[in-house]
Chains A and B, each alone.
Chain A
Amino acid sequence: MIDNLPFLVVAITILLGLYTLLFRKDLIKMIMGISLIEAGVNLFLIALGYRWESIAPIFTGAPSLAMVMPTVQALTLTSIVIGVATLALLLSMVMIIYRHYHTTDVREVTKLQG
Chain B
Amino acid sequence: MDIILDNLPGLLIAIPLLGAFLTPLVSRAGDAARNIWVLLTVALTSLCGLLIASRVLETGTIVYTFGVQHLSEIIPPDSGGIPIRIIFTIDPLSAFMLIIASIVSFCIILYSLSSMEKLSGKDGFFTLLLLLIAGVYGMIATGDLFNFFVFLEISSLAGAALVAYRIDKGVAAEAGLKYAALSTLGGLLFLVAIGFLYVQYNSLNMAVIASRMNLTGLDIIAFVLFFTALAMKCGAVPMHFWTPDSYAMAPSAVTAFLVVSSQASLYALFRVCFTLYGGQINPLTVGWVMIILGVLSMFIGVTMAIPQKDVKRLMAYHAVSQTGYMLLGVGVGLAALSSTCMFNSVGMTALKGGLFHIMNHALYKGLLFLTAGVIMYRCGTRNLNQLGGLGHNMKWTMVFFMIGALAIAGIPPFNGFASKLLIYESTFLFNPLLAVIAMVVSILTLASFVKVFHSMFMGPKLPEYEDVKEAPAPMLIAMAILAILVILFGIFPQTVIDTLVAPAATALIDYHGYAAAVLGAQS
Q: A-side interface residues toward B, CB under 8 Å?
A: 14, 21, 27, 30-31, 34, 37-38, 41, 44-45, 48, 69-72, 75, 78-79, 82, 85-86, 89-90, 93-94, 96-97, 99-101, 109, 111-112, 114
In contact, B170 and A45 (Cβ under 8 angstroms): no
Query: Which residues on B sit within 8 Å (CB–CB) of A79?
Result: 191
Q: Determine which residue in A14, A48, A93, A101 has the highest number of CB atoms from chain B within 10 A of its CB, and name it.
A: A93
Query: Which residues on B sit within 8 Å (CB–CB) of A75?
Result: 146, 191, 194-195, 198, 204
Contact of B177 among A14, A72, A82, A93 (CB under 8 A): A93
B68 in the interface, Cβ–Cβ < 8 Å?
no
Q: How far is the CB of B153 from chain A (nearest CB, A)?
A: 5
In contact, A94 and B82 (Cβ under 8 angstroms): no
Contact of B173 among A31, A41, A44, A97 (CB under 8 A): A97
In contact, B150 and A78 (Cβ under 8 angstroms): yes
Query: Which residues on A sit within 8 Å (CB–CB) of B249?
Result: 112
- With CB as the reference atom, state the residue of chain B lying closest to A96: B173
- With CB as the reference atom, state the residue of chain B lying closest to A82: B153
Q: Dominant SS at the A interface?
A: helix
Q: How far is the CB of B314 from chain A (nearest CB, A)?
A: 12
Query: Which residues on B sit within 8 Å (CB–CB) of A72?
Result: 195, 198
Q: How far is the CB of B121 from chain A (nearest CB, A)?
A: 14
B192 in the interface, Cβ–Cβ < 8 Å?
yes
Contact of A21 among B150, B161, B185 (CB under 8 A): B185
Interface flags for B164-181 (1: CB within 8 Å of A; 0: not) read 100101110111111011
Q: How far is the CB of A95 from chain B (nearest CB, A)?
A: 9
In contact, A93 and B173 (Cβ under 8 angstroms): yes
- Enumerate 24 A-B pairs (CB-CB under 8 Å) in ascending A order: A21-B185, A37-B188, A45-B195, A48-B198, A71-B82, A71-B84, A72-B195, A75-B195, A75-B204, A78-B146, A79-B191, A82-B187, A86-B184, A89-B160, A89-B161, A90-B177, A93-B173, A97-B177, A100-B173, A101-B170, A109-B177, A112-B174, A112-B178, A112-B248
Q: Complex: how many Å from CA A99 to CA B172?
A: 13
B245 in the interface, Cβ–Cβ < 8 Å?
yes
B237 in the interface, Cβ–Cβ < 8 Å?
no
In contact, B185 and A86 (Cβ under 8 angstroms): no
B119 in the interface, Cβ–Cβ < 8 Å?
no
Query: Which residues on B sit within 8 Å (CB–CB) of A100?
Result: 167, 169-170, 173
Query: Which residues on A sit within 8 Å (CB–CB) of B192?
Result: 14, 41, 44
- With CB as the reference atom, state the residue of chain B lying closest to A85: B157
- With CB as the reference atom, state the residue of chain B lying closest to A35: B184
Q: How far is the CB of B186 from chain A (nearest CB, A)?
A: 11
Query: Which residues on A sit within 8 Å (CB–CB) of B204?
Result: 71, 75
Q: How far is the CB of A62 from chain B (nearest CB, A)?
A: 13
Query: Which residues on A sit within 8 Å (CB–CB) of B84?
Result: 71
7 additional A-B residue pairs with CB within 8 Å, beyond A44-B195, A78-B150, A96-B170: A41-B191, A44-B192, A69-B82, A82-B153, A93-B177, A100-B170, A111-B171
Q: Complex: how many Å from CA A109 to CA B153?
A: 25
Q: Complex: how many Å from CA A90 to CA B178?
A: 9
Q: How far is the CB of B454 from chain A (nearest CB, A)?
A: 22
Interface flags for B466-483 (1: CB within 8 Å of A; 0: not) read 000000000000000000
In contact, B195 and A34 (Cβ under 8 angstroms): no
Within 8 A of A (CB), among B171-227: 171, 173-178, 180-181, 184-185, 187-188, 191-192, 194-195, 198-199, 204
B353 in the interface, Cβ–Cβ < 8 Å?
no
Contact of B199 among A48, A86, A99 (CB under 8 A): A48
B9 in the interface, Cβ–Cβ < 8 Å?
no
Return the 9 tightest CB-CB contacts between A and B, nearest first.
A100-B170, A96-B173, A112-B245, A93-B177, A48-B199, A82-B153, A93-B173, A86-B184, A97-B173
Q: How far is the CB of B148 from chain A (nearest CB, A)?
A: 12
Q: How far is the CB of B332 from chain A (nearest CB, A)?
A: 32
Q: Complex: how many Å from CA A78 to CA B144?
A: 15
B244 in the interface, Cβ–Cβ < 8 Å?
yes
In contact, A86 and B191 (Cβ under 8 angstroms): no
A112 and B164 in contact, given A86-B157, A101-B170 (Cβ under 8 angstroms) = no
Q: Determine which residue in B150, B178, B191 has the highest number of CB atoms from chain A within 10 A of its CB, and name it.
A: B191
In contact, B177 and A86 (Cβ under 8 angstroms): no
In contact, A93 and B180 (Cβ under 8 angstroms): yes
Q: Complex: how many Å from CA A86 to CA B160?
A: 10
Query: Which residues on A sit within 8 Å (CB–CB) of B184?
Result: 34, 38, 86, 90
Q: Complex: how many Å from CA A100 to CA B169?
A: 6
- With CB as the reference atom, state the residue of chain A lying closest to B167: A96
- With CB as the reference atom, state the residue of chain A lying closest to B242: A112
Q: Complex: how many Å from CA A71 to CA B197?
A: 13
